Amino acid sequence: MRFMADSSNIKVPNIEGSNIEGPKTEVPAGDSDFPIAVIKERSRKLLASARLWWLALACLLVSIGLVLRAMPSRGTHVQIQFPQGHGLKAEDAVRYRGIDVGVVTSVYLTDSLDAVDVHVELFPTAAPLAVEGTKFWIVRPQLSISGVSGLETAVGHKYIRVQPGPVAQKVKRYFDGLASAPVDNGAHSGIEILLQADQRHSVNVGSAIHFRGVDIGRILSVELSPDARRVEVRGKVEEAYRSLVTTESKFWATGGVDFDFSLTQGLKLETESLDTLARGGVSMLVTGDGTTVEPGHVFALAAQAEENWWSQARNYRATSAHLRGALNLTATWTETGLLGIGKRKRSVRCAGIGLKIDGRAIAAYPADVLDAAETALDDSFELRIAEAEKGVAIPKLPSGEIVFRLVDAKEIPSQLTFIDGDEVLQSAESAGWIAVRKSNEGGVFHHLPIEAKNIKSVQTEQDASPHWSISDFVGDRALWHGTPVLQSSDSKLVGMLLIGDSDVRIVPVPSTIDP
């Protein structure tokens, strides 16, 4: 059954703006209760009006961050080309200072089959190693008359060792690996020199450069000159001994065994160390006060030292600093004898600094010298300059780490040189410092270099000015405690060296003193 609707009876309201098509009729007044639809445009800013969406977005971002943080950090990829692989394989370690800093990911032959490409993933903490100047080599067992190395790789895995490049270099991803370990021991500082000789004289790569029997450098390469008329030996002298390389430096080849036979003295043998005997070496002397040279300076390499070199070298001083200011002090006191019976004399020697400020002579010395005054009988503790005949009574209460007292002109021996107040530094760069002491006999001054790498500036709330902490100090407290520290460049006073039970420090000395 079909029903037909009569459209003429349907009343459609005339809604302005409506998209509904149909007959347009007017709504009678009595039909005003007919519902009318109001059409509004939907807001397109959904996220702006729905706070729940913002919360969902924040949760999503937090989830992504947690996932990324939980993922293992990606290291730095570098590629190294070695002339030989020496059994290296994937998963072998890359080490620096005895710890793993990376891992080998793959080892392949180059397309030309003349080298080996090694891909390495450095750990995130080792990313600073991927810079220009960094050196890589494969550690393997090596046995020679001069030593044994790499034995741990004879039965275990091979590994790559790293020598980092200088600080603040450009980032680098492709390196040429070394065929063997470098001979300069990672010393980026120092001065490189070129020695020329008519023959090789048994000098080899890695041989030592000696100064009076002390190793001060290494031979980096031995090869013919471009015109093949000479042998060129390239060496590097360590930064600590740079001052020895001047225009008056003399070099000669050493190695082997020298012997001399005579009827009166018999057979006389002279030989160097086992290392020099095996690999040869180069010795040097400085025969006078020459001028400094630039890196790459060319020197002649003699077959042996000339006789007059040794006599000329006796007058050479390794530092141009004027060694002065060091005092030898003697403290004397009287204390009660053993078991409280009687009295006994005691004395101790210490070092100090002689200052001349505002026309007054002043002796500065460590405050711990007065510790002995705690057991001294009243008015018995005296301190005098070692060369002086008479001392001065010292109060028992010290003031700070350094104590100052006026020195009578009669106490000052003629051979002592005091440091003027205008030559006392209140701030100094940690480079080229020397501690100075005076021998008890003979009036000879001695110095002990303090390397810049072992100096660290320290500032505390109690200090009016910073002091310097010294690491790897090798001096004896009995000799160097209380000695002055000078700048080797201009001989100005940096401060006083104080050696404690657990630390070594340099404390500045004020330029104005009111004892």
Which position has the token pair 């007919």? 34
The answer to whether 468 touches 457, Cβ cutoff 8 Å, is: yes
Query: Tell me, what's the pLDDT at 62?
Result: 86
Pairing of strands 326-336, 343-357: antiparallel
User: In what helix (H) or strand (E) does residue 160 lie, and over which residues does it extend?
Assistant: strand 159-163
Task: Return the structure tokens found at 311.
Answer: 């006599």
Query: Tell me, what's the pLDDT at 7?
Result: 47
Other CB atoms within a 10 A radius of the CB of residue 430 amount to: 17
Question: Angle CA(511)–CA(512)–CA(515) in degrees, nearest 5?
Answer: 125
For residues 38-72, b (16+ Cβ closer than 10 Å) or e, as one string?
A: eeeeeeeeeeeeeeeeeeeeeeeeeeeeeeeeeee
Query: CA 471 to CA 454: how far, in whole Å?
Result: 5
Residue 462, CA atoms < 13 Å, CB-side half-sphere: 3
In 173-287 the beta strands, taken as DSSP E runs, fall at 174-176, 191-197, 208-211, 214-224, 231-237, 249-254, 257-262, 266-271, 281-286
Query: Tell me, what's the pLDDT at 115?
Result: 92
Query: Tell me, what's the pLDDT at 301?
Result: 94
Residue 494, CA atoms < 13 Å, CB-side half-sphere: 27
* DSSP annotation of 16: T
Closest by CA position to 332, among listed 350, 345, 313, 342: 345
Closest by CA position to 366, among listed 411, 399, 389: 399
Task: Return the structure tokens found at 245.
Answer: 């390389």
Query: CA 13 to CA 39: how far, in whole Å?
Result: 14
* DSSP annotation of 171: B
* DSSP annotation of 233: E
Query: CA 182 to CA 205: how far, in whole Å?
Result: 10
Query: CA 514 to CA 512: how far, in whole Å?
Result: 7
Query: Tell me, what's the pLDDT at 371?
Result: 78
Query: Tell me, what's the pLDDT at 481?
Result: 92
The beta-carbon contacts of 14-23 under 8 Å, at least 24 apart in sequence, are 15/39
How big is the chain, counted in residues?
A: 515
Query: Tell me, what's the pLDDT at 176?
Result: 93
Query: Tell me, what's the pLDDT at 3?
Result: 43
Query: CA 319 to CA 105: how far, in whole Å?
Result: 52
Other CB atoms within a 10 A radius of the CB of residue 174 amount to: 10
Query: Tell me, what's the pLDDT at 475?
Result: 86
Query: CA 242 to CA 320: how far, in whole Å?
Result: 13
Task: Report pLDDT digits (tens) over 212-250.
Answer: 888 889 898 899 999 989 999 999 998 878 888 999 999
Q: How distant is the alpha carbon of residue 259 from its chain centre?
A: 44
Q: What is the mean pLDDT of each run of 10 residues along the chain (515 residues)?
A: 47 48 52 66 56 79 78 79 92 91 93 93 91 90 56 70 86 91 70 92 86 88 90 89 89 69 56 56 88 90 90 76 84 79 83 85 85 76 73 55 76 72 79 84 79 82 74 88 88 91 87 64
Which position has the token pair 């065929």? 179
* DSSP annotation of 215: E
Q: Specify the pTM.
A: 0.58
Residue 472, CA atoms < 13 Å, CB-side half-sphere: 8
